[in-house]
Structure 1
């Protein structure tokens, strides 16, 4: 497998560069592919409440996993698939007045195009900064010939396309697209919705690969590829909290990879016979309680699979945060959460002796001040 073209952090995949997002890599502009095309399998994410919350919108989701990560960066077997996009490029140093060639990727070799008159001359190209998108989220390349000719059929003399820049402002009104046939059109027209200069959407879902389309007849809109409003991720989140101590649920969680598909007592008994480690982990536990725990966990932490989990997510978080258990979690670098209960002591304002803080000398630096006031 070839060396990857770029790198992003896992947090960026969740917040900024999810499926369908545009990324500028050092040598390419790409569109992040759908999850089905990602290579490798990420680590299982053990967050039942988050799974429960996601199933409200995507009921068929069975499990959550982290983005695939391969520690061998020189010979990766896992990673995020991206598609080259856009497929139209513009020359960087083609000297002909202030016009630059617009070329399709088929004419590009190693980031360059050849001069038609002198094959030894090559010109560097970069991805064009304009694409089309519709209000439903579909995205695609602009039909540049269609834009210039206002939807008329392409003629034999329509060979090359040029991007002309007039003035030094760099705004759309100063950019024109010209064809060899003599027709030209301002990019400012493409930005005005009333003209519908970019035609209507064809429903392209390029992040899923070529040929993936759905019905859509929305008018296309001009989108600047690097614009900050080009992509917004949809986030669902929960507070990552340790569950209250439950030996049955703890045992199920420890062997979840093996137990997640079990749906009957007979299947559970058969699995225990086949896998010694599962039998050992569940030793001494009631099989019915284990099966209930499996179903609860598979349902995202809800006691039933009614498909209406939304009220229970925050309730479960509040139940853990207000539980009498002290402390919650572990005071350790590997722990995702740690909290302990203490009784605050308020100091008196305006003189008098201050009451020592109960936090002093208990791992809080020894000199922590008492609470002066509580803001609600």
Structure 2
């Protein structure tokens, strides 16, 4: 086969370091950054809101290739069912003249070189390690060696058979050994596997794996659990994302000027003059104006902004700016806080990497009372940086594995730069405040346990959101709108993404960006930004809210107290509110469509539902 390839944007998620990706029926493990080719292969990526915080570390985008390894090694033949351990040595022995990898094939005479299939299951632990399942043990778990004669791991020949009984569950899957012993896979998913973790990552040196919760046997390794090879819980990527907002907020504009060495010299001299003049700054500002005009023109900001920054610095007698936080303290929420004022600027934005054109919603469906503005984002540039990953769960109890997979951490993180377009909606703070006040008891009843559960798992800090009822409502509406937009604008649902802006209860704000950002042409066709025109977007919103009133899973879906991952959803299932993993940045949790379109009545279980934020849209 040709060299295995994936789309470059997928290298951050879902096929980042430590993940398993299937290409042409073969399964590969993406190795750590310490194994990637360097030099010309790694192109530097910069975006202000990430680059400044990451220093001295950098963001690097692979341009040619990354290191992969075939995993799992165990394969089986779909014809004769014989299991073969296809290692890296076999790849080297069978490599083709053009350097491409061979396709693992069965060497049985009757199988006619049938292509081998990777085993469906692997073993993983909560510390982020991944390993092969001990198939030899499963074949011999119920048999004594004396019953079938001598047998060893080195000489045994295993077969993976499916009997077809019991509806195809684990009890119908059998591992059979050439010595005559066999065992089915019943119980393989019920708890820890009999084997213990050895700190393994394919292609990397094994490390120690200690279970701190094992008080009876301190120093014991973590237990391993079976995971399907294609399971999303096998790899939860921690990705931090930033739009290139071109330094448009007042804070960022001033920081651009303060980074200028000549400006700092001017400020230092001006501070001395102010001291000699008894604290009077008027004359100093007047005499410094020519220098400030030159610096403003050089830096690329207005003289008004330069004067405002200069006056503030003189009045505050500034000290040296505090250093940026370390890379492991980067907050996704802080990045969103920077982006929101730019997207909500009533004058819009027209820079190299961000073109935003705001418009006021009309009175149709009463949307002018629910939203401050709609924004057509005709161009955007997003940078996604891969910080690490977890296995089996995203809670704080599960270790975060760095992109180096245990090796010495390099001075860069894998990143990807993508272009796209989108639609941004700014919610009305007063409308949200009124909605929450009028439905206070019902909203708290419907959201409290889920918010507490999310906090207990540490999701807000890791995923980058403020956990409150407003977030659940905006997030639920985002999924409904995303699905409706995919129908109306021609994009596939997997190519659209959400970006949710939500403040705290003490500093409230809310916004939603639905955008497409990919490394190919599908990121810039123009169809999505055109939907941002009020006359089009209002109809889309009405249809999305209207469809949320009923789900084919109702009344079960609507009346469940908890469903989904860790029970963190309420009225949300695959038939109504869940979207593709590539589209949702919060793993499809904290969703409840009742907060969007609820009618305030009692449901079938006698629970009084809150009135949805968009309920009046349906009354028009």
Instruction: Using the TM superposition, give the Cα deviation of residue 226 of structure 1 relative to its aligned residue in structure 2, in angstroms.
Output: 1.9
2:339 is equivalent to residue 317 of structure 1: yes
Question: 1:36-115 counterparts in 2 under 5 A?
Answer: 36-39=34-37, 40-51=40-51, 55=54, 62-66=57-61, 68-69=62-63, 78-94=64-80, 100-105=81-86, 110=102, 111-115=104-108
Whole-Å separation in 2 of the counterparts to 1:51 and 1:41: 20
Question: 1:1-376 counterparts in 2 under 5 A?
Answer: 5-26=3-24, 28-39=26-37, 40-51=40-51, 55=54, 62-66=57-61, 68-69=62-63, 78-94=64-80, 100-105=81-86, 110=102, 111-115=104-108, 122-150=113-141, 155-156=151-152, 159-167=156-164, 169-193=167-191, 196-197=193-194, 199-206=195-202, 209-216=203-210, 217-244=221-248, 249=256, 303-305=322-324, 307=326, 310=331, 313-318=335-340, 320-321=342-343, 326-330=347-351, 335-339=353-357
Question: Equivalent residue of 2:72, what SS?
Answer: coil
For the 8 Å contact 1:242–1:329, the answer to whether it is kept is: no
Aligned length: 286
Structure having the higher strand fraction is: 2
Question: Equivalent residue of 2:57, what SS?
Answer: coil
Question: Equivalent residue of 1:20, what SS?
Answer: coil
Whole-Å separation in 2 of the counterparts to 1:345 and 1:223: 48
Question: Equivalent residue of 1:86, what SS?
Answer: coil
For the 8 Å contact 1:201–1:218, the answer to whether it is kept is: yes
For the 8 Å contact 1:43–1:65, the answer to whether it is kept is: yes
Aligned to 1:273: none
Structure having the higher helix fraction is: 2
Structure 1 gaps, min length 5: 70-77, 95-99, 254-264, 266-283, 290-301, 350-358
Instruction: Using the TM superposition, give the Cα deviation of residue 82 of structure 1 relative to its aligned residue in structure 2, in angstroms.
Output: 1.1
TM-score, scaled to structure 2: 0.39
Instruction: Using the TM superposition, give the Cα deviation of residue 36 of structure 1 relative to its aligned residue in structure 2, in angstroms.
Output: 2.6
Instruction: Using the TM superposition, give the Cα deviation of residue 14 of structure 1 relative to its aligned residue in structure 2, in angstroms.
Output: 2.0
Could you say what the CA RMSD is over the residues aligned between the two structures, in angstroms? 4.5
Whole-Å separation in 2 of the counterparts to 1:159 and 1:133: 25
Whole-Å separation in 1 of the counterparts to 2:33 and 2:336: 28
Whole-Å separation in 2 of the counterparts to 1:82 and 1:219: 26
Whole-Å separation in 2 of the counterparts to 1:136 and 1:336: 40
Question: Equivalent residue of 2:238, what SS?
Answer: coil
User: After superposition, what is the alpha-carbon deviation per residue over 1:43-99, rounded to whole angstroms, capped at 9, x for unaligned?
Assistant: 43222323456x5xxxx7611133x22xxxxxxxx21221111111101212xxxxx
Structure 2 CA distance for partners of 1:137 and 1:47, relative to 1, 3 Å: same
Question: Equivalent residue of 2:180, what SS?
Answer: coil
Whole-Å separation in 2 of the counterparts to 1:345 and 1:191: 52
User: After superposition, what is the alpha-carbon deviation per residue over 1:285-327, rounded to whole angstroms, capped at 9, x for unaligned?
Assistant: 69xx9xxxxxxxxxxxx85235476585444334545668x44
Aligned to 2:542: none
Question: Equivalent residue of 2:171, what SS?
Answer: helix
Instruction: Using the TM superposition, give the Cα deviation of residue 9 of structure 1 relative to its aligned residue in structure 2, in angstroms.
Output: 1.8
TM-score, scaled to structure 1: 0.61
